[in-house]
Structure 1
């Protein structure tokens, strides 16, 4: 299996990271858990990961979150940066299966597959990785961070499930049609 990584992927990382950072302040608070929000930036990262693969998804999650924290909050909360990268990497590992670029995403099987994978990746990232890192790195109380992680998981699943699926569906429909173009004689 040949893996291609070129200028398109580098540009995707730049654009995706920039969008992720810009969307850092677009958030709907989940009042039940402190410092936990619905954030559309997760759908952007999932979109780029599903189209361009795990390196692009991981870089956008890692650098997008770190830069967003640094710019808007003045410091980086690393225990939540790494889980973003985990989600991007895991979704990206299945990019070929989703067939977004080829115009094949809009099948029930691919949409379900994408959403199962994003749910599992978010569960690992937010129910396991983020709380454990919060406890180990920042000595945060377990009950607080596991509650935050659970709500971050639910919020991300909803945002990616709705907005991410819509973005991928529209892009796949357009991408599939443009690949049908043939040069005239």
Structure 2
């Protein structure tokens, strides 16, 4: 019976995660000065979701949230970026799971490791997967794709380092049973 409760908890958490991710992605975003690229608080939320619910939930939240945002904003889904966002959620979830953020004490070392790994995940998603996908699938110039990718990677890294770390710390303090 405990397994079913945990599964339902993850499903509900993932659905709520998608809704909040979409709202942050769509409505709490500012133009980044590069075409089709915005600075948003959604990556910080994704960091918390992956820390709580794991890599699969992170991948689903990021992929579906990004896909819904594209569909609602322009009617066209930019699949390479939706896939990159899903992979980013997966990578972030694998890192938080590996570090064990909420196992034992949440230490400065764990938070530093988390931020190193989120930087690596951002680089892989936005400087490898998205731009190469744009070039190979859509035939876009690599210079334009990399310009967008660099801005997205930098913005996401800073947002997660500041707000994502704060959300994880607050969640740990108030909702994780301390030993």
Settle same-fold status: TM greater than 0.5.
Answer: yes
Q: In the alignment, what sits opposite 1:79?
A: 80
CA distance in 2, matches of 1:104, 1:87: 26
CA distance in 2, matches of 1:149, 1:96: 26
The alignment status of 1:166 with 2:160, answered yes or no, reads no
Q: Aligned residue pairs: how many?
A: 175
Deviations 1:82-123 (A, max 9, x none): 111111111111333444445632x11111011011000000
Give the number of the structure whose residues are more often helix, by fraction: 2
Q: Is the CA contact (8 Å cut-off) linking 1:102 and 1:175 kept in structure 2?
A: no
Shift of 1:30: 1.3
Q: In the alignment, what sits opposite 2:67?
A: 66
Higher mean C-alpha deviation, range 125-134 or range 43-52: 43-52
Unaligned runs of 5+ in 1: none
Q: In the alignment, what sits opposite 2:149?
A: 149
Unaligned runs of 5+ in 2: none
Shift of 1:6: 0.9
Q: In the alignment, what sits opposite 2:136?
A: 136
In structure 2, do the counterparts of structure 1 residues 49 and 13 end up closer, same or farther at CA, with 3 Å as the change threshold? same
Q: Is the CA contact (8 Å cut-off) linking 1:21 and 1:65 kept in structure 2?
A: yes
Give the superposed CA RMSD: 2.0
Moved over 3 A (4+): 96-103
- TM-score w.r.t. the length of structure 1 is 0.87
The alignment status of 1:30 with 2:32, answered yes or no, reads yes
